[in-house]
Chain A
Amino acid sequence: MELRFNEAEIAFRQEVRDFIAKELPKETHERMLAGKSPTKQMVVDWQRKLNAKGWAVPEWPVEWGGPGWTLGQRYIFREELQQAPAPQPLAFNTNMCGPVIAEFGTEEQKKRFLPRMANLDDWWCQGFSEPGAGSDLAGLKTRAVREGDHYVVNGQKTWTTLAQHADWIFLLVRTDPNAKKQEGISFLLCDMKTPGITVRPIITIEGGHEVNEVFLDDVKVPVENLVGEENRGWDCAKFLLGNERFGQARVGASRERIRRLKRIASTESMDGGQPLMQDPDFARKVTEIEVELKALEMTVMRVIATESKRKDKKPDPATSVLKIKGTEIQQMCSELLMKAAGPYAWVDGDPEAEGSNDIDVAPDWAFGLAGVYFNWRKQSIYGGSNEIQRNIMAKAFLGL
């Protein structure tokens, strides 16, 4: 049993840290330090820098540009990006669709899509959820009917994150309406410029525009854009959802939030004439989160260690903790940050929009914190709600 990072891993962490310090554009870093999402251009520029370094697609096979890192290195890389903070490689390209194409796609598909995906020449979005298929994803109804050398797709996707930026969408569609739920689904790649696609924004409670509805009316998708076999798309979906389980813990992101919270509560935010951190009740709430985060970090280490060795790809029971605890901790961080800002957390406005604090109502450190709190309620809903996670645990790990 060796419970520490080895020297090579420590050196790797330093290498990543140095690269970020040297290469991350100042405007991107400052924007993220202020708790705002990076703009599209910032994400694209940064991913191209990472790609030039060979670091944009840690999860991909080496022959398609992956760096050949261990799970430990991938974790370190991710954590360093999160706590810098710096943008992560776009998940839709690098964690979701890319690995699916690398695993299930044809040589032609790999050549055509993967290099552009890695360099973020194409921005991808995820067409999974539907109005009637949320937690029960396999209940999806979007139909794809084969006609000659293409599929005709009709239906509606929803909660499509950043579809407004997207050049391509990967879709789960129903190709056999008579088969059992999971067995009639296929995985299609679709150019967002195809006629018949309409993207309509969904504005979330804090006022931000992250997610969209995507309507598909007689959208023609060439048959060569089918990934894997027809009606075997659920295999791709399961592979995608099971990929990178430890990515959901976001330990580095929470650590960055706590650092920020403690700075604000120790210097800016006053309570009874003293820094808020000196209020024992508040300090204890922060400490409870720090303890849970330390435990989660060790749980992630355990998952990495077991998954590195595991041949059968069966998840460790500890993996189920990652989504639940990871999101609970992040949500608590967002709540405490909002509380720390007091009344100045209330300024309304789209925290994603540039210049939205132009009239300087709130101090910079406080701006948009309530918005983030409201927005982050999504974390325990997306990616399989935390209740679905508990169902999975009860069934898969506890045999109930």
Chain B
Amino acid sequence: MNATWSRFNITAIVLGFAFLYLPIVLLVVFSFNESKLVTVWGGFSTKWYYSLFQNQGLMDAAWVTIRVGLISATLATVLGTLAALALTRYTRFRGRVLFSGMVFAPLVMPEVITGLSLLLLFVAVGFDRGFFTLTLAHITFSMCFVAVVVQSRLVSFDRSLEEAAMDLGAPPVKTFFQITLPVILPAIISGWMLAFTLSIDDLVISSFTSGPGATTLPMKIYSQVRLGVTPEINAACTILIGIVAIGVIAASLVNKQREVQRLRDEQAAQRG
């Protein structure tokens, strides 16, 4: 491995990061712009943040997004976990390969197709489009992501833990709640977080399956941007970025710390 910083390396890194983060930096900077013109700097100000919270439309949309996210992520986690359990545990049933393929197909399905097919279904069944259909749609597409995350944990799960619990007198249901669930909980939590993130930033499927009175934040932002970008939108996006960044950093720090602690414990144990 080359440990020195060649000119080529530095250039590559600067270009790469600029490509990734320059647009976001611009957006954040212009959210603090005094001027109403998006591309002209008119001095520092936080007034767009203030007016953002006065904007009833945006606040309503944010509230819808959060509710849909919480409900759909939770239900998707329950269903996805059950699917993962079924697919890893009952390995002998007929058509298992087909089933696991079908659970994971939505991962690669173009969103437009998922959205359109859900819309057709809701129309055919006669559901009024709105908050309910929106939540259903989000559960549908985020469930398979949860299933993938939980399944990858279950594959490495030592089944003898469950056998040991049963051997010690715990019936299957108790074994599941006292042994299996706590052990795979980290995977379930990250599955939930993934589902929640997918839900709050989805635009395409939401546009197909939502109705009057259930506009999500991404839909609202998109429709407003078509009438021209306002610094208010920049402010809203900056807040979103902030929340996501804090979440990701916190999660990885906790993980990292736990890993370091674990390694240290194991080394200590080996020494005696």
> Do A and B assemble together?
no
